[in-house]
Amino acid sequence: MTMLEVTNLTVRYRGAERLAVDQVSFTLGPGEVLGIVGESGSGKTTLAMALLGLLPPGAQVAGSVRFDGQDLLRSSEKQLRKLRGSQISAIMQNASTALNPSFTIGSQLIALLRRHRRLSRQQARAEAVSWLGKVGIPAPESKLSFYPHQLSGGMNQRVVIAMALALQPRMVLADEPTSALDVTVQAAVLSLLRTLIDDSASAMALITHDLGVVAQMCTQVVVMNGGVVVESGPVSELFVAARHEYTRRLLASLPGRRPRPSSLHPAGGST
Amino acid sequence: MSTLQAGTAPAAAGPSVPRRGRGLLRRTIFHNATLAAGSLLILLVVIIAIVVPLVSPGGATALHPAASLTGPSGSYLLGTDQLGRDLLTRVAAGYRISLEVSLGSVGLALLLGVPLGLLAAMGPRRLGGMIMRLLDVLMAFPALLLAIVVVAMAGTGTGVLLLAIGIVYIPVVARVMRAAALNTSKEPFVEAARARGATFGRLVLRHVAPNSLGPVVVQASILMAVSILLEAALSFIGLGVQPPTPSLGLMLSSGRDFMASSPWVVADPGVAIVIVVLGFTLIGDGLQDWLDPKKRVIGR
C-alpha cells in the first residue's frame, strides 16, 4: 500500500536553463523511511518544497504527487493548508532560524496544537509539555517560557521536531534535520526521530547528503544527481551493490569505509 | 565581565525562569548610555510639562505688566516676556503642546503607516506597487510645504497641526515597515510556519509583523524629535498654534523683537526645543544600538 506516489515530477525555476528536478518518481508507504541523497544542488530541497506545495511562485511544475490519492500539485492553497502540519509536516534545515524569535517555544507549540485540534488552554499546555518531554528536553515544564535564543541549537532542533510531530502527521519531511548540529547531538536526534516515527507508524522522507545517516535511518533510498534520480531501492541493496557509477563514488567518498590515506574521492557529479 | 556572568548564570542553572524585568532595565542603563541620557532628558521635559503649570500662580497667560522683560530671578526663574508673562510657565505649557502634537502625529503616522507598509510588503505585488507609488508622491513634497498645504486647507489649531504633521510622516513609517517586513518574510521561520499550515493572516500578524517592528520603533523616536521641530516651525511662521496659547515656536517668533535687549526671551524656548529634540534623538540612537544584535554587549 502506498501513501505517497510521486510520478515524473519535474520542476524548472523561472529563467533557469536546467531542470531543478527532472522526471523523478518514487513511492512511500506507511512505516517506511525514504532517504533522498545527493550533494548540494542536486535538487533535494526543491523536491521537498514541491511535495509541500511551497515552491516559489515562478517555478514551473509537471508530473504528479499523489498523497492518499489526492494530487497535491493540482490542489488549491486552501486544501494544501489543511494537509500541512496535520497530515504532512516538515522539519526544516536550521532549527535556530526555524522558530519565531518573538514568542516563547511554549506559546508557539500551544498555538499550533490549539489551531489544529480542539483543545482547551490547559489541555494544550499539558500536551505541549508531554511532547517536549518525548523529544528529550529536560525539565520540559520550565522550558515553555524560554525564547528560542535562550536554547542551544540541539534543543531548538528538538523543539522543531516536537512541533513537526505534535499533530501526529502521517508523513514527515525532514530536510537535513541534523546538518546544523554537532556529531554527538546529531546521533541522539536521529535515533530519537527514528523511535518517534516507528511508534507512530508514519512515513518519513529524509533528505540528506550523509550516507551514514541513510544507513542508520532509512529503509528505502533515492540517489539524486543533477535533478535526476540515478538509483533507487532498498538501503541494504544499495550499500552492498551500488549499480550506478555516481552512487559508487558517493560511497567511496565516505570517510572510514575503506581506509585509503593516499587519496580523497570527491563524488564529482554534474551539478 | 560580572554582568556577562550574570547574564549567563540562569541558563546554566537549568530550570530557573529566564531573567527579565529589573535586570534588563539595569543592564540597559549601564550599557547604553545614549538611551539612558535620552530617557533622562525626556523624563525632565515630562516633569516640567506636568508639574510647573500646577504650581505656577496665574498660569501661562497671566500678565504682570509691571514686571515685563525682567531677567531670570528668584520670582521668575527663567525671566518674563514683553507682557510680563512668566517664561518658565510658558515653556512648560509649550512643552505640553509640543508633546501632544508630536505624540498624536507620530501615533497617527504609525497607525496608518504600519498597516500600509505591511500590506505593501506582503500583499499582492500590484497592490504593493500602487501603495508605494502613492506614498512616493506624498514623500516628494518637502515636509514643511505639505504641512502648510494641509493647514491652508483645514485652518489652524492643535488638531489640524497634529493631522498635518501625521500625514507628512505616514510614508516614512510605511517605507521602513515595508523594508523590514520584506526582510523578515524571507526568514526560515516564516516558511516553516507556512509548512505547518498557517494562514496568510496568521503569517503576517504573528510571524512577520512582530519581528519587523524594531526599525519602526527607532524611526518613531526620531520622528518625535522631527515633529517637535516641525510644530515649532509651523507655529513660528504663524500657521500652527495661535496666540495666546503658548507654543515654543510662537514664543521664539514673538520674542525676536526683544532679542538684543532681553536675550532670555528667545533663549528660553530655544534651549527648551534643543533639550526635547536632543532627548528623542538620543533615545532613537540608543534604541538602534540596543536592537542591533552586533552592537549588543550582552543580548541574551
pLDDT one-digit tens code per residue, B87-129: 788 888 888 888 888 999 999 999 999 999 999 988 888 898 8
Does residue A82 share a domain with residue A8?
yes
Flag whether pLDDT at A99 surpasses 50. Answer: yes
Best residue of A76, A88, A100 to probe chain B, by most B CBs closer than 10 Å: A100
Which residues 206-245 of chain B have a CB within 8 Å of chain A?
206-207, 210-211
Q: Are A99 and B199 inside 8 Å of each other by CB?
A: no
For residue A85, give the nearest of B15, B197, B210 by CB distance: B197
Give me chain A's average pLDDT, please: 82
Q: How many domains does chain A have?
A: 2
For residue A92, give the nearest of B188, B197, B210 by CB distance: B188
- A258 pLDDT band, cuts 50/70/90, is low
Q: How far apart are CA A46 and CA B240, in angstroms?
A: 59
Does residue A236 share a domain with residue A109?
no
Does residue A103 share a domain with residue A70?
no
The secondary element (H helix, E strand) that includes residue B58 is none
Tell me, what's the pLDDT at A110?
92
Q: Are B197 and A86 inside 8 Å of each other by CB?
A: yes
Percent of chain A with pLDDT over 90: 4
**ipTM more than 0.85?**
no
Query: Does residue B88 contact residue B202 with C-beta atoms inside 8 Å?
Result: no
Identify all chain A residues contacting B193, using CB atoms and an 8 Å cutoff: 100
Q: Select the more confidently predicted residue: A257 or B238.
A: B238
Residues 6 or more apart in contact with residue B17 via CB below 8 angstroms: A142, A145, B10
Tell me, what's the pLDDT at A28?
87
Helices and strands in chain A, H and E counts: 10, 10
CATH number of the domain bearing residue A254: 3.40.50.300
**Last residue of some domain: A142, A168, A194?**
A168
- A267 pLDDT band, cuts 50/70/90, is low
Tell me, what's the pLDDT at B297?
45
Tell me, what's the pLDDT at B11?
38
Query: Does residue A109 contact residue A131 with C-beta atoms inside 8 Å?
Result: yes
Q: Read off the pTM.
A: 0.77
Tell me, what's the pLDDT at B292?
65
- Per DSSP, the three-state class of B261 is coil
Best residue of B189, B194, B199 to probe chain A, by most A CBs closer than 10 Å: B189
Tell me, what's the pLDDT at B179?
92
Cβ count near A114 (within 10 Å): 17
Q: How far B209 CA sits from the closest chain A CA (Å)?
A: 10
Does residue A226 share a domain with residue A104?
no
Residue A124 structural domain: 95-168
Q: Are B11 and A150 inside 8 Å of each other by CB?
A: yes
Does residue A241 share a domain with residue A149?
no
Burial state string for A60-84 with b = 16 or more CB within 10 A and e = fewer than 16: ebebebbbeeeebbebeeeebbebb
Tell me, what's the pLDDT at B262?
77
Q: How far apart are CA A117 and CA B275, in angstroms?
A: 55
Residues in chain A: 271
Q: Select the more confidently predicted residue: A41 or A81.
A: A81
Query: Does residue A119 contact residue B213 with C-beta atoms inside 8 Å?
Result: no
Does residue A117 share a domain with residue A174?
no
For residue B189, give the nearest of A86, A98, A147 by CB distance: A98
Identify all chain B residues contacting A82, using CB atoms and an 8 Å cutoff: 197
Find where cell 521664539 sits.
Answer: B252
Residues 6 or more apart in contact with residue B72 via CB below 8 angstroms: B78, B79, B264
Please report how many Cα atoms fall inside a 13 Å half-sphere around the Cα of residue B292, on the Cβ side.
Answer: 10
- What is the distance in angstroms between the CA of the first residue and the CA of the last residue of chain A? 34
Tell me, what's the pLDDT at B60?
67
Tell me, what's the pLDDT at B19?
47
Tell me, what's the pLDDT at B117?
92
Q: Are B195 and A89 inside 8 Å of each other by CB?
A: yes
Q: For residue B144, which amino acid is it?
A: L
Tell me, what's the pLDDT at A55?
81
Q: How far A53 CA sits from the closest chain B CA (Å)?
A: 9
Q: Which residue of A has its CA nearest to B7?
A: A150
Identify all chain B residues contacting A102, using CB atoms and an 8 Å cutoff: 210-211
Domain B40-50+86-291 CATH (choose: 3.30.70.1290, 1.10.3720.10, 2.30.60.10, 3.90.950.20): 1.10.3720.10
Does residue A248 share a domain with residue A213?
yes
Ranges under pLDDT 70 in chain B: 1-31, 57-62, 65-69, 71, 74-76, 84, 292-300
Does residue A68 share a domain with residue A56?
yes
Cβ count near B190 (within 10 Å): 21
Q: How far B126 CA sits from the closest chain A CA (Å)?
A: 15
Q: How buried is B140 (Cβ within 10 angstroms: 0-12 exposed, 13-18 middle, 19+ buried)? A: exposed
Q: How far apart are CA A72 and CA A254, in angstroms?
A: 36
**Last residue of some domain: A149, A168, A187?**
A168
Does residue A147 share a domain with residue A79?
no
Q: Select the more confidently predicted residue: B173 or A251.
A: B173
Q: How far A45 CA sits from the closest chain B CA (Å)?
A: 13
Average pLDDT over residues A67-75: 85
Does residue A39 share a domain with residue A72?
yes
B298 shares contact with chain A (CB less than 8 Å):
no
Does residue A142 share a domain with residue A71?
no
Q: Select the more confidently predicted residue: A65 or B262.
A: A65
Does residue A200 share a domain with residue A82?
yes
Tell me, what's the pLDDT at A261?
52
- A265 pLDDT band, cuts 50/70/90, is low
pLDDT one-digit tens code per residue, A13-27: 887 778 888 888 888
